[in-house]
Amino acid sequence: MTTRMITGSAVPLLQVISRGSPMSLEDSGRIIPLFYLFSSLFSHSLISIHDNEFFGDPMEGAGQRPSSLMPFTLEELVVLSRCLRDACLGIIKLAYPETRPEVREEYATAFQSVGVRTSAEVQQCVQAEQKRWVQLFKVITTLVKMLKSRDTRRSFCPPNHWLSEQEDIRADKVPQLYVPAARHAWRFRRMGRIGPLQSTLDVGVESPPLSVSEERQLAVLTELPFVVPFEERVKIFQRLIYADKQEVQGDGPFLDGINVTIRRNYIYEDAYDKLSPENEPDLKKRIRVHLLNAHGLDEAGIDGGGIFREFLNELLKSGFNPNQGFFKTTNEGLLYPNPAARMLVGDSFARHYYFLGRMLGKALYENMLVELPFAGFFLSKLLGTSADVDIHHLASLDPEVYRNLLFLKSYEGDVEELGLNFTVVNNDLGEAQVVELKSGGKDIPVTSANRIAYIHLVADYRLNRQIRQHCLAFRQGLANVVNLEWLRMFDQQEIQVLISGAQVPISLEDLKSFTNYSGALPLLRAPSARTRRRCPFSRGRRVPSPAVPRQW
């Protein structure tokens, strides 16, 4: 599908979109419906295509994939994903043009040809056209993010594939994004205005005074952050935190803040009480900790930051310890909320998850690394919604259940003979509980016709419904300290790096090159054995020489 340029050459409409160039009403009417339909259908099909089907089962032969499951090869997907990425970036350019043109004459003529006469009617048609661009952008970004999620779980694209040469977003080039008005806009800024004719649609908040370039950069960071290098996004995140911290804490280390006394043997219990939302609603303030030892005596030291960091590290270790009961571990030792937490602490369990979310947020806010390996699906839930976590994440929670569901999907025999129904059985604390996946599920057998629905209901229950309240409370606590929109610049693997650091070998040469020694005493060489015999007091006691009688 092409269009004629001024030079007379034919250019694909997809290329016009990728450039961010305005197009005629006729051209947009041709490309938008087809592009929207393709993206919607492909996104919908990807939901039911599992990772082993997406990449092809190696047992079926190298490079072979059932055509009924996946319409594209991996090589074609690499090209397709690049085109989709560039189309999204082009629509962002259309949303925020360098100039603000009025309705062009060709648009007015086109609308008048179909019976639109007044300027108000023309403007309504223009806004309807722009809304179609908004809808197209949303469905394309959904598809791009799904492909990016697949590539994150198991890479099929070359290195740096998702980075865009069109966008040169660097932390030191976007200072306007760190001012209070712009930081506030991150909470609400989504693609609210779109289209080559450019008019403002209602987004619920007044836009901060940003330039066109900064508007585009903010749109990219909120909608397609993965086109920006990870290192630059980390720097942007740290600068956002620093700017926010300057407003709350200031520069003085001993200015007004939160002072708490904690018993070392009861770190979690005391912190849960004294740092609760009722007692300390704003954890962004500087916290100074006074520790009491096991005997109730004061531990020496004034907290200039080090004692607090030790306290927070020990608190997080205690709170996320599976023995505490709030979190469990997968077969790979990764943490996720314990579905049986309500049975352990009663109806107040959500308050504990809110508290732990705040504490993790405080660690991120203070740029502090903690050794907490989280399950990927749990981090995905913190960053998005339940719709962002599907059956593909079940493998990280329970590989056995995931394999059984895949077996059921491809089972060629009579499914009813398996004796399944729309229920699951929970075995928490030795107590078996049958839960219906849908109303009357215990009386609904699983058949070949409804097994796909059963598979997705099981995955939804394990990943979403069973721990919905836990994750909601945890996410609310996290958002109480750190803006979630800032964290959404990262995927689940990158968030894990922010929390715990990268899992890379230690380089001694790197440590040596970045270490500065000062104030060290000169190294004294230990005396030889002969010297020690000559100097019997060199080690603080009499050491007789072999020639001296033993009675010495």
Residue 315: pLDDT band (50, 70, 90) is very high
* Mean pLDDT value across residues 173-183: 67
Question: From CA 401, how far away is CA 320, in angstroms rounded?
Answer: 25
User: What pLDDT, on the 0 to 100 scale, is given for residue 60?
Assistant: 41
* Mean pLDDT value across residues 120-135: 75
User: What pLDDT, on the 0 to 100 scale, is given for residue 23?
Assistant: 82
Return all residues near 516 (Cβ < 8 A) that are at least 6 apart: none
Share of the chain above pLDDT 70, in %: 78
Return all residues near 108 (Cβ < 8 A) that are at least 6 apart: 122
Please determine, for residue 551, whether its predicted confidence score (pLDDT) is greater than 50. Answer: no
Residue 263: enclosing H or E segment and its boundaries?
A: strand 258-263
User: What pLDDT, on the 0 to 100 scale, is given for residue 313?
Assistant: 95
Share of the chain above pLDDT 90, in %: 42
Please determine, for residue 101, whether its predicted confidence score (pLDDT) is greater than 60. Answer: no
Please determine, for residue 99, whether its predicted confidence score (pLDDT) is greater than 80. Answer: no
Please determine, for residue 217, whether its predicted confidence score (pLDDT) is greater than 70. Answer: yes
Please determine, for residue 12, whether its predicted confidence score (pLDDT) is greater than 90. Answer: no
Residue 363: pLDDT band (50, 70, 90) is very high
Residue with more model confidence, 306 or 318: 318
User: What pLDDT, on the 0 to 100 scale, is given for residue 454?
Assistant: 94
- Other C-beta atoms lying within 10 Å of the C-beta of residue 494: 20
Question: From CA 490, how far away is CA 1, in angstroms rounded?
Answer: 35
pLDDT in tens, 233-257: 999 999 999 988 888 887 665 567 8
User: What pLDDT, on the 0 to 100 scale, is given for residue 201?
Assistant: 36
User: What pLDDT, on the 0 to 100 scale, is given for residue 115?
Assistant: 54
Return all residues near 284 (Cβ < 8 A) that are at least 6 apart: 244, 245, 248, 249, 365, 481
pLDDT in tens, 486-509: 999 999 999 999 999 887 777 888
pLDDT in tens, 408-460: 988 888 999 999 999 999 887 777 889 999 999 999 999 999 999 999 999 99
Average pLDDT value for the chain: 81
Question: From CA 162, how far away is CA 148, in angstroms rounded?
Answer: 8
Residue 326: pLDDT band (50, 70, 90) is very high
Handedness of CA 453, 454, 460, 466 (dihedral sign): positive
* Mean pLDDT value across residues 88-94: 91
Please determine, for residue 520, whether its predicted confidence score (pLDDT) is greater than 90. Answer: no
User: What pLDDT, on the 0 to 100 scale, is given for residue 388?
Assistant: 66
pLDDT in tens, 364-404: 999 999 999 999 999 998 887 655 677 888 888 888 898 89
Question: DSSP label at 501?
Answer: -
Q: Nearest 5°: CA angle at 313, between 428 and 380? A: 55
Burial class, 17, CB count within 10 angstroms (exposed 0-12 / middle 13-18 / buried 19+): buried
Domains of the chain and CATH, by start: 2-153 (no CATH), 258-387+470-500 (3.90.1750.10), 390-463 (3.30.2160.10)
How much is the pTM? 0.81
Is residue 455 within 8 A of residue 409, CB to CB? The reply is yes
Residue 19: pLDDT band (50, 70, 90) is confident
Residue-level length of the chain: 552
Residue 543: pLDDT band (50, 70, 90) is very low
Please determine, for residue 157, whether its predicted confidence score (pLDDT) is greater than 90. Answer: yes
Please determine, for residue 273, whether its predicted confidence score (pLDDT) is greater than 50. Answer: yes
User: What pLDDT, on the 0 to 100 scale, is given for residue 305?
Assistant: 74
* Mean pLDDT value across residues 288-301: 81
Please determine, for residue 114, whether its predicted confidence score (pLDDT) is greater than 80. Answer: no
Which of 116-120, 382-386, 481-485 is most confident?
481-485
pLDDT in tens, 526-538: 666 665 555 555 4
106-115, 160-169, 177-186, range with the lowest pLDDT: 106-115
